[in-house]
Amino acid sequence: MWQQLSVLALCGMSALRADVCEGLPTGPSTGSGSPFYEDLGEPPPVSFRLSVKDGGPTFRITIRPVSFDSLRHNRDPNVVHAGDIEVARCQDGKRLQLLPIMAWQPLNFGATFHADDINFDGYLDFSVRSEYAASWESKSYWVYDPGSELFVENELTRELGENCFAAAHGDCWQTYAITFDSKKQEISTHHFGLGNTGCGAGADRYRVKNNRLILIHKEEITQSGPYLPRDCIVTISELIGGTMRVTGVRRGDAPEQSVK
């Protein structure tokens, strides 16, 4: 009798421990508030359920910002430890990782949690905003490594997180959006270089190879003047045979003209 009761008790305890992610959202609700948490008061920890693949591992992602007071008086232009992301197994609640969030602003990190397959390997990765301005943002990314069953940073996450992509003459363009196209397996960076000059919105496109961004399509302003967009000239290049080659030119609002 006692043995049967012990077995039942153990089964009951296992059931209580099972799936600690039950009922958790998969992402923040729409309109989660200001990106700066001093406008909201210091936000509490927030947790999400992340299934990296159908039938694959499922994790509880808990985002905890550090004390607002420790960031409010930060005069260091460099990034500091601004929060942590705890990764735990939904199966039993065991903590697997504690990932630091590095930022210099007191941001509402939980409101910007987003899952996407950024390296197109069939597993979901995730990001949070780590820098914000009126018309652009930077994010910190972590990719899922199926070998270790952990979330890691690598060269790809570093390149995306820097949000600085080479333009003409080696300049750096910060983007106002980075989008991931899982069907084409391409990453697009929508940058200021075109939109802010009145030369028409455009984007560079990349593929991912060995955790590096490979530029395959580039739009570069080669001429602009006071009468925008009429006097804009945008030169378009494509990756052909391993080399970027000019393939077209767009003048003002006119359609792109091919270059032979």
Residue 74: pLDDT over 70: no
CB of 108 closer than 8 Å to CB of 42: no
What does the pLDDT look like over 153-162, one tens digit per residue? 999 999 999 8
* Structural domains in the chain (count): 2
Whether residue 172 is found in the same domain as residue 183:
yes
What secondary structure does DSSP assign to the chain, as a single string?
-HHHHHHHHHHHHHHHHS-TTTT--SSPPSS---SBGGGT-SPPPEEEEEESSTTS-EEEEEEEE--HHHHHT---SS-EEEEEEEEEETTT--EEEEEEEEESS-B-GGGG-EEE-SS-SSS-EEEEEEEE-SS-EEEEEEEEETTTTEEE--HHHHHHHHT-EE-GGG-EE-EEEEEEETTTTEEEEEEHHHHTTTS---EEEEEEETTEEEEEEEEEEEE--SSTTTT-EEEEEEEETTEEEEEEEEETTSPPEE--
Is 153 in the same domain as 172? no
pLDDT band at 180 (very low <50, low <70, confident <90, very high): very high
Mean pLDDT, residues 29-54: 78
Question: Quick one: what percent of the chain has pLDDT higher than 70?
Answer: 76
The CB-based long-range contact list for 198-203 (8 Å cut-off, 24+ gap) reads 198/224, 198/228, 198/229, 198/232, 199/224, 199/228, 199/229, 199/232, 199/234, 200/229, 200/232, 200/234, 200/250, 200/253, 202/234
Which of 50, 68, 75 minimizes the C-alpha distance to 142?
50
Same-domain pairing of 133 and 209: no
Judge if 46 and 118 occupy the same domain: yes
Segments forming the whole domain that contains residue 193: 164-260
Q: How far apart are CA 178 and CA 125, in angstroms?
A: 15
**Residue 42 and residue 113 share a domain:** yes
Amino acid 185: pLDDT: 97
Could you tell me if residue 14 is inside a domain?
no
Last residue of a domain, one of 104, 128, 162: 162
Residue 11 inside a domain? The answer is no
Task: Report whether pLDDT(133) > 50.
Answer: yes
The answer on pLDDT for 84 being more than 70 is yes
To the nearest whole number, what is the mean pLDDT of the chain?
82
The answer to the question of residue 10 being in a domain is no
Confidence of residue 168 (pLDDT cuts 50, 70, 90): very low
Highest mean pLDDT (candidates 33-42, 96-105, 160-169): 96-105
In this structure, the answer to whether residues 28 and 151 fall within a common structural domain is yes
Q: What CATH number is associated with residue 83?
A: 2.40.128
1/11 Cα distance (integer angstroms): 15
pTM here? 0.82
**Same domain, residue pair 148 and 47:** yes
Any domain includes 103: yes
- What digits encode the pLDDT tens for the residues 198-219? 676 678 999 999 999 999 999 8
Q: Is residue 189 part of a domain?
A: yes
Final residue belonging to a domain, choices 162, 184, 206: 162
| Residue 253, domain member (yes or no) | yes
Domain boundary among 144, 162, 180: 162
Q: How confident is the model over 61-65, as a mean pLDDT? A: 94
Class of residue 141 by CB neighbours under 10 A (exposed 0-12, middle 13-18, buried 19+): buried
Q: Do 218 and 149 fall within a single domain?
A: no
Judgement on whether residues 104 and 119 belong to the same structural domain of the protein: yes
Please say if the pLDDT value at position 35 is more than 80: no
Query: Do 205 and 224 share a structural domain?
Result: yes
Same domain (yes/no): 154, 27: yes
